[in-house]
Amino acid sequence: LAKTTQPISMDSYEGQEVNITCSHNNIATNDYITWYQQFPSQGPRFIIQGYKTKVTNEVASLFIPADRKSSTLSLPRVSLSDTAVYYCLVEGGSQGNLIFGKGTKLSVKP
């Protein structure tokens, strides 16, 4: 299973764009890259998933370079409510198990 590495923590201010990069050097051909968000006392919540290039939805964008050895979650104009832990996962299509790392604790300040 591909291992992921991401910063332990990040600080930002309201209204700024936040980019969290995740390294996954051993990603396999059939692996997808998925990001989850977790607030205290809640289960993780799916944010976005991609395979290559760029994916955008209503809450975030995901940038994946051609070699797919890293990915960057971009949160536009963060607010205080975006303070949470963000997890990057690399998952194979048929493997089933989702493996979480330690995540990145994002703190958004006013």
Residue count (the chain):
110
**What are the C-alpha distances in Å from 75 to residues 2, 6, 47, 62, 94?**
24, 16, 10, 9, 29
* Least distance from other proteins to the Cβ atom of residue 11, Å: 18
Task: Tell me the sheet residues that pair with 71.
Answer: 22
By the criterion CB under 8 A, which residues form the site for other proteins?
A: 32, 34, 41-46, 49, 85, 87, 91-103
Query: Is 81 or 94 the residue whose CB approaches other proteins more closely?
Result: 94
- Give the nearer residue to other proteins in terms of CB position, either 7 or 16: 7
Beta-bridge partners for 88: 35
**Which CB atom, from 53 or from 95, has the smaller least distance to other proteins?**
95
